Amino acid sequence: EADIYQTPRYLVIGTGKKITLECSQTMGHDKMYWYQQDPGMELHLIHYSYGVNSTEKGDLSSESTVSRIRTEHFPLTLESARPSHTSQYLCASSDQNRGSFFGQGTRLTVV
Amino acid sequence: AQSVTQLDSQVPVFEEAPVELRCNYSSSVSVYLFWYVQYPNQGLQLLLKYLSGSTLVKGINGFEAEFNKSQTSFHLRKPSVHISDTAEYFCAVSEVDSSYKLIFGSGTRLLVRP
Protein backbone atom coordinates (compact mmCIF):
# COMPACT_ATOMS: atom_id res chain seq x y z
CA GLU A 1 0.00 0.00 0.00
CA ALA A 2 1.15 3.51 -0.84
CA ASP A 3 1.67 5.94 2.00
CA ILE A 4 0.31 9.21 0.71
CA TYR A 5 -2.21 11.18 2.72
CA GLN A 6 -4.52 14.04 1.94
CA THR A 7 -6.45 16.19 4.38
CA PRO A 8 -9.19 17.11 4.62
CA ARG A 9 -11.18 14.46 2.73
CA TYR A 10 -14.16 16.77 2.36
CA LEU A 11 -14.32 20.55 2.66
CA VAL A 12 -17.27 22.91 2.27
CA ILE A 13 -16.24 26.53 2.42
CA GLY A 14 -17.63 29.97 1.60
CA THR A 15 -16.63 32.12 -1.34
CA GLY A 16 -13.60 34.31 -0.73
CA LYS A 17 -12.01 32.12 1.93
CA LYS A 18 -8.39 31.05 1.79
CA ILE A 19 -7.86 27.31 1.90
CA THR A 20 -4.90 24.94 1.97
CA LEU A 21 -5.19 21.32 0.95
CA GLU A 22 -2.57 19.15 2.59
CA CYS A 23 -0.66 16.29 0.98
CA SER A 24 2.08 14.23 2.59
CA GLN A 25 3.95 11.11 1.55
CA THR A 26 6.28 8.92 3.56
CA MET A 27 7.92 7.10 0.65
CA GLY A 28 10.71 9.61 0.05
CA HIS A 29 9.59 10.28 -3.53
CA ASP A 30 11.08 13.34 -5.19
CA LYS A 31 8.27 13.80 -7.71
CA MET A 32 4.84 14.93 -6.56
CA TYR A 33 1.73 16.08 -8.43
CA TRP A 34 -1.69 17.66 -8.02
CA TYR A 35 -4.51 16.59 -10.32
CA GLN A 36 -7.99 18.07 -10.57
CA GLN A 37 -10.98 15.86 -11.31
CA ASP A 38 -14.48 17.15 -11.98
CA PRO A 39 -17.34 14.65 -11.36
CA GLY A 40 -17.42 11.94 -14.00
CA MET A 41 -14.45 13.40 -15.81
CA GLU A 42 -10.81 12.61 -16.39
CA LEU A 43 -7.99 13.94 -14.24
CA HIS A 44 -5.95 16.94 -15.33
CA LEU A 45 -2.51 17.86 -14.01
CA ILE A 46 -2.47 21.30 -12.39
CA HIS A 47 0.89 21.33 -10.55
CA TYR A 48 3.98 19.18 -10.18
CA SER A 49 7.29 19.19 -8.40
CA TYR A 50 10.58 17.42 -9.09
CA GLY A 51 11.87 18.01 -5.58
CA VAL A 52 12.39 20.54 -2.82
CA ASN A 53 12.01 24.14 -4.03
CA SER A 54 10.86 22.92 -7.47
CA THR A 55 7.30 23.65 -8.64
CA GLU A 56 5.81 23.83 -12.11
CA LYS A 57 2.37 24.46 -13.53
CA GLY A 58 0.62 21.58 -15.22
CA ASP A 59 -1.43 21.26 -18.36
CA LEU A 60 -4.64 22.67 -16.88
CA SER A 61 -4.54 26.29 -15.81
CA SER A 62 -5.35 26.74 -12.14
CA GLU A 63 -5.59 29.73 -9.81
CA SER A 64 -4.12 27.61 -7.03
CA THR A 65 -0.50 27.72 -5.91
CA VAL A 66 1.78 25.07 -4.42
CA SER A 67 4.96 24.93 -2.40
CA ARG A 68 7.58 22.25 -1.76
CA ILE A 69 9.68 23.12 1.26
CA ARG A 70 10.07 19.54 2.43
CA THR A 71 10.31 16.37 0.35
CA GLU A 72 7.33 14.77 2.04
CA HIS A 73 4.95 17.74 1.96
CA PHE A 74 3.25 19.36 -1.08
CA PRO A 75 0.37 21.63 -0.02
CA LEU A 76 -1.99 23.37 -2.45
CA THR A 77 -3.43 26.81 -1.63
CA LEU A 78 -6.34 28.80 -2.97
CA GLU A 79 -6.10 32.43 -1.83
CA SER A 80 -9.75 33.22 -2.51
CA ALA A 81 -12.06 30.28 -3.15
CA ARG A 82 -14.81 30.58 -5.75
CA PRO A 83 -17.64 28.21 -6.76
CA SER A 84 -15.72 27.44 -9.97
CA HIS A 85 -13.04 25.81 -7.77
CA THR A 86 -15.52 23.14 -6.68
CA SER A 87 -13.90 19.86 -7.68
CA GLN A 88 -11.95 16.87 -6.42
CA TYR A 89 -8.22 17.40 -5.94
CA LEU A 90 -5.93 14.37 -6.00
CA CYS A 91 -2.31 14.38 -4.88
CA ALA A 92 0.20 11.82 -6.16
CA SER A 93 3.86 10.96 -5.88
CA SER A 94 5.89 8.74 -8.15
CA ASP A 95 8.58 6.15 -8.04
CA GLN A 96 10.51 5.69 -11.27
CA ASN A 97 9.93 1.97 -11.39
CA ARG A 98 6.50 1.59 -9.85
CA GLY A 99 4.53 4.51 -11.26
CA SER A 100 2.43 7.08 -9.47
CA PHE A 101 0.65 6.57 -6.15
CA PHE A 102 -2.44 8.59 -5.33
CA GLY A 103 -3.95 9.89 -2.14
CA GLN A 104 -7.67 9.48 -1.46
CA GLY A 105 -8.43 12.99 -2.64
CA THR A 106 -10.03 16.11 -1.22
CA ARG A 107 -13.53 16.89 -2.40
CA LEU A 108 -13.88 20.68 -2.27
CA THR A 109 -17.21 22.48 -2.44
CA VAL A 110 -17.26 26.28 -2.51
CA VAL A 111 -20.63 27.82 -1.73
CA ALA B 1 1.67 16.02 -27.07
CA GLN B 2 -0.07 12.86 -25.97
CA SER B 3 -3.74 12.01 -25.79
CA VAL B 4 -5.72 9.04 -24.55
CA THR B 5 -9.07 7.82 -25.83
CA GLN B 6 -11.39 5.54 -23.94
CA LEU B 7 -14.28 5.11 -26.34
CA ASP B 8 -16.61 3.31 -23.93
CA SER B 9 -17.96 5.55 -21.19
CA GLN B 10 -19.77 2.63 -19.58
CA VAL B 11 -19.48 -1.13 -19.95
CA PRO B 12 -22.22 -3.27 -18.38
CA VAL B 13 -21.40 -6.93 -17.92
CA PHE B 14 -22.77 -9.87 -15.98
CA GLU B 15 -20.85 -11.37 -13.10
CA GLU B 16 -18.35 -14.08 -14.14
CA ALA B 17 -18.35 -12.91 -17.75
CA PRO B 18 -15.15 -11.72 -19.45
CA VAL B 19 -14.60 -8.02 -20.08
CA GLU B 20 -12.37 -5.82 -22.20
CA LEU B 21 -11.98 -2.09 -21.62
CA ARG B 22 -10.50 -0.32 -24.61
CA CYS B 23 -7.76 2.30 -24.57
CA ASN B 24 -6.06 3.95 -27.53
CA TYR B 25 -3.38 6.59 -27.30
CA SER B 26 -1.69 9.09 -29.56
CA SER B 27 1.88 10.24 -29.11
CA SER B 28 4.83 11.32 -31.22
CA VAL B 29 7.27 9.93 -28.65
CA SER B 30 7.62 6.71 -26.71
CA VAL B 31 5.27 6.38 -23.76
CA TYR B 32 4.69 4.44 -20.61
CA LEU B 33 1.14 3.11 -20.20
CA PHE B 34 -0.98 2.64 -17.10
CA TRP B 35 -4.39 1.49 -15.96
CA TYR B 36 -5.87 2.84 -12.74
CA VAL B 37 -9.09 1.94 -10.90
CA GLN B 38 -11.13 4.38 -8.86
CA TYR B 39 -13.80 3.24 -6.43
CA PRO B 40 -16.47 5.77 -5.32
CA ASN B 41 -15.09 8.62 -3.20
CA GLN B 42 -11.58 7.16 -3.36
CA GLY B 43 -8.28 8.00 -4.98
CA LEU B 44 -6.77 6.03 -7.83
CA GLN B 45 -5.18 2.62 -7.41
CA LEU B 46 -2.63 1.36 -9.92
CA LEU B 47 -3.83 -1.84 -11.62
CA LEU B 48 -0.89 -2.40 -13.93
CA LYS B 49 1.72 -0.62 -16.01
CA TYR B 50 3.76 -1.11 -19.14
CA LEU B 51 7.25 0.38 -19.06
CA SER B 52 9.16 -1.94 -21.38
CA GLY B 53 9.69 -5.59 -22.17
CA SER B 54 6.87 -8.10 -22.58
CA THR B 55 3.80 -6.56 -24.18
CA LEU B 56 1.44 -8.63 -22.03
CA VAL B 57 1.27 -7.15 -18.58
CA LYS B 58 -0.39 -8.75 -15.60
CA GLY B 59 -1.73 -6.66 -12.76
CA ILE B 60 -3.64 -6.93 -9.53
CA ASN B 61 -7.12 -8.40 -9.08
CA GLY B 62 -6.76 -10.71 -12.10
CA PHE B 63 -6.50 -7.93 -14.69
CA GLU B 64 -4.11 -7.94 -17.62
CA ALA B 65 -3.41 -5.66 -20.55
CA GLU B 66 -1.60 -5.95 -23.84
CA PHE B 67 0.46 -3.19 -25.39
CA ASN B 68 0.06 -3.07 -29.18
CA LYS B 69 2.43 -0.51 -30.62
CA SER B 70 1.18 -0.77 -34.22
CA GLN B 71 -2.40 -0.15 -33.14
CA THR B 72 -1.39 2.26 -30.36
CA SER B 73 -3.65 0.40 -27.98
CA PHE B 74 -3.47 -0.84 -24.40
CA HIS B 75 -6.72 -2.71 -23.76
CA LEU B 76 -7.52 -4.02 -20.30
CA ARG B 77 -9.00 -7.50 -19.88
CA LYS B 78 -10.29 -9.78 -17.18
CA PRO B 79 -11.54 -13.32 -17.92
CA SER B 80 -14.18 -13.37 -15.18
CA VAL B 81 -15.44 -10.28 -13.36
CA HIS B 82 -16.89 -9.96 -9.87
CA ILE B 83 -19.45 -7.56 -8.45
CA SER B 84 -16.59 -5.93 -6.56
CA ASP B 85 -14.94 -4.92 -9.86
CA THR B 86 -17.64 -2.28 -10.37
CA ALA B 87 -15.66 0.96 -10.51
CA GLU B 88 -14.27 3.62 -12.83
CA TYR B 89 -11.21 2.60 -14.84
CA PHE B 90 -8.75 5.11 -16.23
CA CYS B 91 -6.10 4.56 -18.87
CA ALA B 92 -3.12 6.92 -18.71
CA VAL B 93 0.15 7.60 -20.52
CA SER B 94 3.31 9.45 -19.72
CA GLU B 95 6.29 10.36 -21.84
CA VAL B 96 9.38 8.22 -21.51
CA ASP B 97 11.24 10.85 -19.57
CA SER B 98 11.86 11.50 -15.93
CA SER B 99 8.71 13.47 -15.21
CA TYR B 100 6.08 10.72 -14.93
CA LYS B 101 3.39 13.31 -15.59
CA LEU B 102 0.21 11.45 -16.50
CA ILE B 103 -2.28 12.17 -19.28
CA PHE B 104 -5.58 10.45 -18.55
CA GLY B 105 -8.42 9.17 -20.65
CA SER B 106 -11.98 10.10 -19.77
CA GLY B 107 -12.58 6.85 -17.94
CA THR B 108 -14.79 3.79 -18.40
CA ARG B 109 -17.34 2.84 -15.81
CA LEU B 110 -17.47 -0.94 -15.43
CA LEU B 111 -20.85 -2.01 -14.11
CA VAL B 112 -20.99 -5.66 -13.06
CA ARG B 113 -24.48 -7.07 -12.66
CA PRO B 114 -25.44 -10.25 -10.77
Which residue does chain B place closest to A59, by CA atoms? Answer: B103
- Say yes or no for a CB contact (<8 Å) between B101 and A58: yes
Chain A nearest-CA distance from B4, in A, is 10
pLDDT exceeds 80 at position A45: yes
Three-class DSSP category at A96: coil
CA distances to A10, A62, A64, B5, B24 from A110, in Å:
11, 15, 14, 31, 35
Cβ distance A93 to A28 under 8 Å? no
Three-class DSSP category at B83: helix
Which residue does chain B place closest to A90, by CA atoms? Answer: B43
Q: Count CB pairs under 8 A between chains A and B.
A: 61
Q: Can you tell me the mean pLDDT for A10-39?
A: 95
Residue A4 has what pLDDT? 94
Instruction: Using pLDDT thresholds of 50, 70 and 90, give the confidence band for residue B99.
Output: confident
Q: Does A57 touch chain B (CB under 8 A)?
A: no
pLDDT exceeds 70 at position A108: yes
Q: Can you tell me the mean pLDDT for A89-108?
A: 89
pLDDT in tens, B8-63: 999 999 999 999 999 999 998 888 999 999 998 888 999 999 988 889 999 999 99
Q: Can you tell me the mean pLDDT for A4-21?
A: 96
pLDDT exceeds 80 at position A2: no
Question: In this prediction, what percent of chain B has a pLDDT beyond 70?
Answer: 99
Query: Residue A85 has what DSSP assignment?
Result: G
Q: Closest to B90 (Cβ–Cβ): which among A6, A42, A92?
A: A42
Alpha-carbon torsion angle A39, A43, A44, A45, nearest 10: 130
Amino acid present at A110: V
pLDDT in tens, A49-75: 999 999 999 988 889 999 999 999 999
Looking at beta carbons, which residues of chain A come within 8 Å of B99? 31, 48, 50
Average pLDDT, chain A: 92
Residue A59 has what pLDDT? 84
Q: Can you tell me the mean pLDDT for A25-50?
A: 92
Q: Does A31 touch chain B (CB under 8 A)?
A: yes
Degrees, nearest 5: CA angle A70-B35-B46: 45
Instruction: Using pLDDT thresholds of 50, 70 and 90, give the confidence band for residue A1.
Output: low
